[in-house]
A = this chain, B = another copy of it.
Amino acid sequence: MADDVLAGYRVTRQPYYRPVADEVALFEAAYSVRMPMMLKGPTGCGKTRFVEYMAWKLSRPLITVACHEDMTASDLVGRFLLEASGTRWQDGPLALAARHGAICYLDEVVEARQDTTVVIHPLTDNRRVLPLEKKGELVRAHPDFQIVISYNPGYQSLMKDLKQSTKQRFGALDFGYPEHAVEAEIVAHETGVSAEVADKLVAIAERARNLKGHGLDEGLSTRMLIHAGSLIAQGVSPLAACGVALVRPITDDPDMRDALDAAVATFF
């Protein structure tokens, strides 16, 4: 059982998550052997929601870290703070999770510099330790601790990719956009629009996703459909709602914008 210091990180209400395949059972098996896990898939397809759901299901606190290029190892591990009575050590989110037994979720880990990801290595093999070199302490991970990372393969580039020596430390689950019916169910559930409207929004998304690599860098995410649905539920006309929530955010190109606007007009 984790300490009280993690109280703020408990997932107290069941997050809405609509399973797609056997990902829940596989994650449970992985957690049972505390295997580090990697969630792979495009932007906005539900990876973050999934890990919240699993944290709730496994009754484990969840500490989420949005990774970025300038995140230092200290941002993960901790640092000394200067106080009136001298310096005080403060655990970073990774040390906090390791010490007290949370699931630590590093979101978009490929954004972080490779040196930052190297810091997690000793926690991902049989040692399960985190050296706090600046403090001179070797934290042995709490038995409940697990590390989970997300990874968008579409982003990988020459400059930014996980090292093989990092990847091989993780089991991996593929995520994608849900099937039509499932996605429509999600959109309706989250926004309150009718099944018919949700169905149309998903159909628009599917058209746009076919343009990925043909003028669009990424497909329309489920999150964007929820945005559009919620505007419609507020009384905004479907055409205007799709313009604001689906088309304008995803492209600056006038031709692509007109093409997408036309696709929207086909359905509404």
Instruction: Using known A-B contacts A9-B138, A108-B118, A114-B111, determine if residue A44 contacts B165 with beta carbons closer than 8 Å.
Output: yes
Give min CB distance, A67 to chain B, whole Å: 7
- Given the interface pairs A22-B240, A168-B223, the reply to whether A121 lies near B66 with Cβ below 8 Å is yes
Per-position binary interface string of chain A over residues 104-146, scored 1 when its CB falls under 8 Å from any chain B CB and 0 otherwise = 0001100101111011011001110001011011100000000
Contact A26 B87 (CB under 8 A): no
A38 near B249: Cβ-Cβ < 8 Å: yes
Which residue in B113, B170, B235 is a CB contact (below 8 Å) of A70? Answer: B113
Chain B residues within an 8 Å CB radius of A217: 164
Question: Chain A: interface secondary structure?
Answer: mixed
Contact A68 B64 (CB under 8 A): no
Known: A66-B122, A115-B70. A43 touches B84 (CB 8 A): no
Contact across chains for A119 and B66 when beta carbons are under 8 A apart: yes
Q: A12 within 8 Å of B by Cβ?
A: no
Most B Cβ at <10 Å: residue of A80, A152, A169, A249: A249
Q: What separation, in Å, do the CA atoms of A138 and B233 have in the docked complex?
A: 30
Instruction: Check A174 against B44 for contact (C-beta < 8 Å).
Output: no
Does A244 sit within 8 A of B, measured CB to CB? yes
Q: Please give, as numbers and ranges, the residues of chain B lying within 8 Å of A233 by CB-CB distance.
A: 33
Question: Please, which residues of chain B bring their CB within 8 A of the CB of A122?
Answer: 64, 66
Instruction: List, in ascending order, chain B residues with CB within 8 A of A182's CB.
Output: none
The minimal Cβ–Cβ distance linking A147 to chain B, given in whole angstroms, is 13
Instruction: Please tell me if the beta carbons of A173 and B248 are within 8 angstroms of each other in the complex.
Output: yes
Q: Check if A245 is an interface residue, CB within 8 A of chain B.
A: yes
Rounded to whole Å, the gap between the CB of A101 and the closest CB of chain B is: 16
Residue of B nearest to A120 (CB): B66
The answer, among B29, B138, B169, for a CB contact under 8 Å with A8, is B138
Q: Is the CB of A75 within 8 A of B35?
A: no
Inter-chain contacts of A230 with B (CB < 8 A): 33, 35
A188 close to chain B: CB less than 8 A: no
Residues in chain A within 8 A of chain B (CB atoms): 8-9, 22, 25-26, 29-30, 32-33, 35, 38, 40, 43-44, 48-49, 64-73, 75, 79-87, 90-93, 96, 107-108, 111, 113-116, 118-119, 121-122, 125-127, 131, 133-134, 136-138, 152-153, 156, 164-165, 167-174, 217-218, 220-221, 223-224, 227, 230-231, 233-236, 240, 244-245, 248-250, 252
